[in-house]
Amino acid sequence: QRYTKTTYFQEGNHDAHIERWAANHGQGAVSIFSLISPRINLSKGRKDFVYIRQGENIQLHPKLICTHGWSYSIHCAAVHRRKSPLQSVILNHAHRMQSDTLTYPAMDMPTTDMCAGCLCKRQPMYKHDGNPTGWTHGFWVAYVGSKDFTMYAVPINKGRAILPSGKEIKVV
């Protein structure tokens, strides 16, 4: 049995905006680039850490892909499941916590697409194109084995979260 503690961080559009801003605002912004870059600051000094750029997907298991997202619609998990019916998808673009699971008869295997919320500043009922979007603080954890995997959404409530192990943690 192989066990790894590798952490994969999938860059989102908000993270990418920071680096683009610094690159496009001259020498002053470039001089603070290493101070504000999520890629540099999240990766610094960490073993078993992989930073995935926005737009790149990562295959965590033959039946599980992680992507920033192809849709941010109100039913984004269902949209992703329809676009990738033969594998489960973890997405991060919609800022809301939701999942959609369906077992396709020909496969006799459930596929689940999950959006676990966001870790950015919470802005409930943020309006995008006039449509309210309920943001949820949260993240996901995937335990990946050689034959299968299990995904968990972990909501953050008032700075606290309970991990799949039952351990309660403070989230800042």
Q: What is the pLDDT of residues 48-105, one digit of tens each?
A: 888 888 888 888 888 999 888 888 788 889 998 888 888 999 988 887 888 999 888 7
Q: In a 10 Å sphere around its CB, with 0-12 CB exposed, 13-18 middle and 19+ buried, how is residue 79 labelled?
A: buried
- Spatial separation of the C-alpha atoms in residues 84 and 111, rounded to whole Å: 9
Confidence of residue 121 (pLDDT cuts 50, 70, 90): low
Name the residue among 100, 98, 166, 101 with its Cα closest to residue 138: 98
Confidence of residue 2 (pLDDT cuts 50, 70, 90): very low
Q: What is the pLDDT of residue 1?
A: 39
Residue 158 structure tokens = 């008032």
Q: What is the mean pLDDT of residues 157-171?
A: 92
Q: What is the mean pLDDT of residues 128-139?
A: 71
Q: What is the pLDDT of residue 128?
A: 59
Q: What is the pLDDT of residue 125?
A: 56
Q: What is the mean pLDDT of residues 2-17?
A: 72
Strand order in the sheet with 109-116: 58-61, 64-67, 88-91, 109-116, 97-104
More confident of the two residues 14 and 159: 159
